[in-house]
Structure 1
Amino acid sequence: MTPDQLSDHVLTAARDVFVARELDPSVLPAAVTLERPRNPEHGDYASTLALQLAKQVGVAPRELATALADRLGRVPGIKSVEVAGPGFLNLRLEAAAAGELARLVVQAGPAYGHSRTLAGQRVNLEFVSANPTGPIHLGGVRWAAVGDALGRLLRAAGAEVTTEYYFNDAGAQIDRFAQSLLAAARGQEVPADGYAGDYIDEIAAAVAQRQPAVASLPDEEAEQVFRAEGIELMLAEIKQSLADFGVRFDVFFNEKDLHERGELAAAVTHLREHGHVYEHDGALWLRTTDFGDDKDRVLIRGTGAPTYFLADCAYYYDKRQVRGFDRVVIMLGADHHGYVGRMRAMAKCFGDDPDQTLELLIGQMVNLLRDGEPVRMSKRHGTVVTLADLMSAIGVDAARYALARYSSDSPIDIDIALWTRASRDNPVYYVQYAHARIASLLRNAAELGVVRGDEFDPALLGHEREHDLLKALAEFPQVVATAAELREPHRIARYCEELAGTYHRFYDSCRVLPQGAEPATELTRARLWLVEAARIVLANGLTLLGVTAPERM
């Protein structure tokens, strides 16, 4: 019996009690939430439903809980229901009912944990979006790991997700990038506000090789060549490094397309129709203070040049009005807190409710350490630690897991020694080792000629450690749904670590395979079903994080 099935039984019992007592059924929830007690003596699951409803229907909580317990005690598969304290319900399952979960997991395979909780939502998920003026730095790498994991989670919860990378390939930062390349190609000092690092020299040399005539062009024309060619080369390097990290976007969106397709003008027209655009001192403004912003925002300067904010407006307009996404999720760095208020106000100026259509997630800083000291910066990339640096230092799996393991609103330190250690202190090793340990057991079973078979007796899985493992496996769908709803992939990592520990304790207490000349028994086969279920859930959890589930370590 799964937690969802048990929740349905509790809700059905509540409806029956309400009918029998002629109580108002409108107060009943659409679904019942069950908790897993910290103390195993309090049962497998607990419900506070009686406490929640008692006051609304004028019945003492313990009296209502007792009525619910009596009704639930007649449900097949429920071993016992106890009323505790002021009206808590503590439920225990029969071994056979609990053991059936192993069958459900194995039959579902990679789909176990998936749901339809977010079905019908079209979500645009934008993350990383580093300017094409240099490689992806460590802060952007965090969003690459977390954003990709979040996209997987949202899809697992039933949402239709488009992952997107936005290239700011228009504006002053691109001018400085082109000027830096031109200076490097001509052996001049990089402008004071330009970009430094050996990668600038490398790209400049590559542009000169691709376009030999650029050396004889006037500065203004040469700068245009370095702009176009340099961006193309930088984008190719960014895309390759992301692919090496296991991150592949559905859409790469260029800012210049907004300009070329006339979407800046379309956004202004739309905003004007909603009555929030005005002119002042020769500039065009958006009255965002009507919706809580600290000041109004300029859309078009007095010179006629559009602002970055107008591009932001047009990009949001494109996602919502042109492409029809229900929800726009944007992941931003720690220095973008001031961005939230103006973007929410902008959404309201478009006539949207930002609580429904716009999410801005802020991530905190990441530090890479060796022996407790910050890692020295790469000369090639100037003054930043890059995605390539991190992959080289600890590997893709450890990097993705380390970055996704913590809540994004918390700064993190990634210690190279810890994340490359082959020990239980290393969280990703600990989880991957549990999966590899199960894979090894299953190989040994095959070598012994012991097969799981098509059927097993779930009632045989009655050992305390088997029961613990089954309860942990049962939690996975709710963990996935909650992680998706709260946009918190770190919940998956922490769950996987708990599941790995639960499996190791099971393995140490419950012998699975026969020894010597012992024959395989029905218990052997039942436990093979259980360990295969544990392997599947570990693999599914790691997959949601974009981390491999190795067969051998």
Structure 2
Amino acid sequence: MSKQVQQATNQLRSAILSAARKAQTAQTLSAGELPAFTLEVPADRSHGDWAANAAMVSARAFHMAPRKIAEALVQNLSLDGTFFDRCEIAGPGFLNFFYKPEFYTAVLRDVHDSGETYGRSNFGGGKRVLVEFVSANPTGPMHIGNARGGAIGDCLASVLDAAGYKVEREFYINDAGNQVNKFGMSLEVRYLQIYKGEDAVPFPEDGYKGADITAHAKKFAEINGDKYVDAPETERRKALVSYALPLNIQGLQDDLLKYRIKYDNWFRESTLHENGAVERVIALLKEKGATYEKDGALWFKGEDYGSEDFVLVRANGVPTYVVPDIAYHYNKLMVRKFDKAIDVLGADHHGYVPRLKGALQALGIDPSNLDVLLMQMVRLVRDGEVIKASKRSGKAITLVTLLEEVPVDAARFLFNLREPNSEMDFDLDLAVQQDSQNPVYYVQYAYARICSLFKTMAAEGTDLRDCTDAELAQLNAPEEIELVRHLSAYTGEIVEAAKNYDPARITRYALTLATLFHKFYNACHIKGEEDSLAAARLYLCDCVRTTLHNVLSLLKITAPESM
């Protein structure tokens, strides 16, 4: 919450506790400690700016009806020196408090003085957080789920940073294991087919059939000719993977940069095998007594740690896919010592999470230091119909083909409109609309409208200036009060979005801010008004412009000065 909101809630708590002590001294309340109570914003703001349930939770402690307790508290309540001018008792005993005009002036001063830092806080206390997201297999292009995961993960990292955490973004490259082996096999077959024909070298059913595999094989052949046709299979596959995999990884980096995602770290799974981390984590689990052997395989005692038993090392001595993942998360939390690791994964990882947490617990790591955000699937919709393929290529729509059709601003905003754990339909028609039906356009238009207003006013000889408290106190129309109140909530929204791993709170905040601005703009004129009121309204517009710019910057969405 903003400094003013935090100050206001602290004032309320102090005033209520003081009122209880005075009531006890006056013997209108019996002795005893006032139970813990909550302060919340009423759904209907006509009922006040804050509501306290202090009287409701005290009935048992004071052996008195809540309404009577409320009356005793109000009789002894002093709001002097606070942001509040009155308290009303509602219903069975709720205490409703109303802001003084000074609160709204203080909020506007804070926005104006803070500028681009408005909304930031030290809630996270500088704790180190690693956000891992997308981590698509480098064996092919990124799909539409990666587009959603990228927008959610990147905006979540921004939210955590604004909330005072020290954040790093990481991409985990699966450059080892079965999928890379299959990648090498697929490349090998396409390479050999160039020289021996498709009939002589049939393509396996479980191979990767993408056009990118064929393109890599052709380019490899152009560079190396038939040099590897008669080479040993291991040598041939290694050469093909060594050529194609770096190109794919570079492609992932380039495509994600187009999506405005820049990672701090690209962590290769292969390093965990090369430096012995995979073997060490197996040895550690054995030392902890968390394993047993069955049918020649090494199993993890999952049932002892809240999951299910599962195989760590197959009977042939090859570790299962989860072992490098355990080693990777051990590296995050124990080697690099992040305070928190956050993974953004698809919903199909639901059963994988307890296994991973159980293994970490067995290794002596607090499993709560790993949080996994499970993201539900996204469906693409055009003309009201769900689509699975691109009209242009006839193939599944990838991140690249999506961004060829949809502006990056729209993709990033729309993918963050819903909570990660909810399924969503991504409307391709809506994403390219340039009207108020398109949410990102609607928000950007509010920003551009303010910029246009300032240009017009400047051309007419009226520039933005500082205002006195008395001038800002003139901003008392319902539309003005509602708008400033929403500005005051921005810091709190960032904190809540960080606590709940829900960057959709910020897109919703932006939409409401744009709506409230348009409402204010249509109801409260600037041109033709007396100078002091016009200046105060321009000051308010500038605060809205600042906050909108901060929100859009947080989401890495452009803030256009004209549209």
TM-score, length-scaled by structure 2: 0.91
How do 1:328-367 residues align onto structure 2 when only pairs under 5 Å count?
328-354=341-367, 356-367=368-379
Whether 1:232 and 2:246 are equivalent positions in the alignment is: yes
Amino acid at match of 1:530: L
The DSSP-based 3-state class of the residue aligned with 1:423 is coil
String of CA shifts for 1:172-191, please: whole Å, max 9, x gaps: 11111112222223334532
Who is 1:546 aligned against?
556
Give distance in 2, aligned partners of 1:190 and 1:54: 76
The DSSP-based 3-state class of the residue aligned with 1:406 is coil
In the alignment, is the contact (CA less than 8 A) between 1:440 and 1:552 conserved in 2? Answer: yes
String of CA shifts for 1:485-541, please: whole Å, max 9, x gaps: 0111111111111111111010001112x34xx7x6111111111111111222222
Give distance in 2, aligned partners of 1:431 and 1:283: 57
How do 1:178-327 residues align onto structure 2 when only pairs under 5 Å count?
178-187=184-193, 188=198, 189-212=202-225, 214-216=227-229, 218=231, 219-294=233-308, 296-327=309-340
The DSSP-based 3-state class of the residue aligned with 2:467 is coil
In the alignment, is the contact (CA less than 8 A) between 2:17 and 2:34 conserved in 1? Answer: no
String of CA shifts for 1:412-448, please: whole Å, max 9, x gaps: 1112111111121111111111111111112222222
Superposed displacement of residue 361, structure 1:
1.5
Amino acid at match of 1:438: I
String of CA shifts for 1:319-349, please: whole Å, max 9, x gaps: 1111111222111112222112212222221
In the alignment, is the contact (CA less than 8 A) between 2:292 and 2:298 conserved in 1? Answer: yes
In the alignment, is the contact (CA less than 8 A) between 1:15 and 1:25 conserved in 2? Answer: no
Who is 1:401 aligned against?
413
String of CA shifts for 1:189-236, please: whole Å, max 9, x gaps: 532111122222222233344555754552432211111221101001
**Closer/same/farther in 2, CA of residues 329 and 53 from structure 1, 3 Å limit:** farther
In the alignment, is the contact (CA less than 8 A) between 2:189 and 2:203 conserved in 1? Answer: yes
Superposed displacement of residue 150, structure 1:
0.5
TM-score, length-scaled by structure 1: 0.92
Superposed displacement of residue 146, structure 1:
0.3
Aligned length: 544
Give distance in 2, aligned partners of 1:160 and 1:115: 12
Whether 1:135 and 2:145 are equivalent positions in the alignment is: no
Segment drifting more, 88-97 vs 208-217: 208-217
Give distance in 1, aligned partners of 2:519 and 2:70: 35
Where in structure 2 are there 5+ consecutive unaligned residues? 26-30
Superposed displacement of residue 67, structure 1:
4.7
Who is 1:509 aligned against?
523
Superposed displacement of residue 62, structure 1:
2.9
String of CA shifts for 1:50-103, please: whole Å, max 9, x gaps: 323453455543344345445244344423211111221222222233232111
Amino acid at match of 2:341: V
The DSSP-based 3-state class of the residue aligned with 1:200 is helix
Who is 2:169 aligned against?
163
Give distance in 2, aligned partners of 1:282 and 1:323: 34
Segment drifting more, 44-53 vs 406-415: 44-53
Give distance in 2, aligned partners of 1:316 and 1:58: 53
String of CA shifts for 1:261-317, please: whole Å, max 9, x gaps: 1111221233233221223333222111112223x2222222221211111111111
String of CA shifts for 1:350-404, please: whole Å, max 9, x gaps: 22332x2121211111112221234452599885321111111211011111111
Who is 2:440 aligned against?
428
The DSSP-based 3-state class of the residue aligned with 2:473 is helix
Segment drifting more, 539-548 vs 379-388: 379-388
Give distance in 2, aligned partners of 1:448 and 1:82: 46
**Closer/same/farther in 2, CA of residues 527 and 225 from structure 1, 3 Å limit:** same
Give distance in 2, aligned partners of 1:540 and 1:67: 44
Who is 1:441 aligned against?
453
Amino acid at match of 1:533: C
The DSSP-based 3-state class of the residue aligned with 2:204 is coil
Superposed displacement of residue 25, structure 1:
5.2
Give distance in 2, aligned partners of 1:412 and 1:395: 18
Give distance in 1, aligned partners of 2:434 and 2:151: 22
In the alignment, is the contact (CA less than 8 A) between 1:134 and 1:381 conserved in 2? Answer: no
Give distance in 1, aligned partners of 2:217 and 2:58: 70
The DSSP-based 3-state class of the residue aligned with 2:253 is helix
**Closer/same/farther in 2, CA of residues 224 and 76 from structure 1, 3 Å limit:** closer
Amino acid at match of 1:501: T
Give distance in 2, aligned partners of 1:298 and 1:538: 51
Give distance in 2, aligned partners of 1:49 and 1:392: 56
**Closer/same/farther in 2, CA of residues 359 and 491 from structure 1, 3 Å limit:** same
Give distance in 2, aligned partners of 1:287 and 1:34: 45
**Closer/same/farther in 2, CA of residues 55 and 438 from structure 1, 3 Å limit:** farther
Amino acid at match of 2:366: D
In the alignment, is the contact (CA less than 8 A) between 1:479 and 1:491 conserved in 2? Answer: yes
In the alignment, is the contact (CA less than 8 A) between 1:197 and 1:380 conserved in 2? Answer: no
The DSSP-based 3-state class of the residue aligned with 2:146 is helix
Whether 1:471 and 2:471 are equivalent positions in the alignment is: no
Whether 1:102 and 2:108 are equivalent positions in the alignment is: yes
**Closer/same/farther in 2, CA of residues 382 and 255 from structure 1, 3 Å limit:** farther
Whether 1:6 and 2:8 are equivalent positions in the alignment is: yes
Where in structure 1 are there 5+ consecutive unaligned residues? none
Give distance in 2, aligned partners of 1:97 and 1:348: 48
Give distance in 2, aligned partners of 1:449 and 1:169: 62
What is the root-mean-square deviation of aligned Cα atoms in Å?
2.3
In the alignment, is the contact (CA less than 8 A) between 1:9 and 1:72 conserved in 2? Answer: no
In the alignment, is the contact (CA less than 8 A) between 2:34 and 2:58 conserved in 1? Answer: no
**Closer/same/farther in 2, CA of residues 28 and 372 from structure 1, 3 Å limit:** closer
**Closer/same/farther in 2, CA of residues 242 and 33 from structure 1, 3 Å limit:** farther
Amino acid at match of 1:190: F
Amino acid at match of 1:151: A
**Closer/same/farther in 2, CA of residues 376 and 525 from structure 1, 3 Å limit:** same
The DSSP-based 3-state class of the residue aligned with 2:240 is helix
Who is 1:480 aligned against?
494
Give distance in 1, aligned partners of 2:158 and 2:173: 22
The DSSP-based 3-state class of the residue aligned with 2:289 is coil
How do 1:451-470 residues align onto structure 2 when only pairs under 5 Å count?
451-456=463-468, 457-470=471-484
String of CA shifts for 1:95-135, please: whole Å, max 9, x gaps: 23323211111211222122222224222211111111111
Give distance in 1, aligned partners of 2:436 and 2:181: 49
Give distance in 2, aligned partners of 1:322 and 1:534: 44
Whether 1:385 and 2:385 are equivalent positions in the alignment is: no
**Residue from 527, 544, 552 that aligns with 2:537:** 527
* % identical equivalent positions: 37
Amino acid at match of 2:372: L
Superposed displacement of residue 473, structure 1:
0.9
Segment drifting more, 273-282 vs 104-113: 273-282
In the alignment, is the contact (CA less than 8 A) between 1:297 and 1:309 conserved in 2? Answer: no
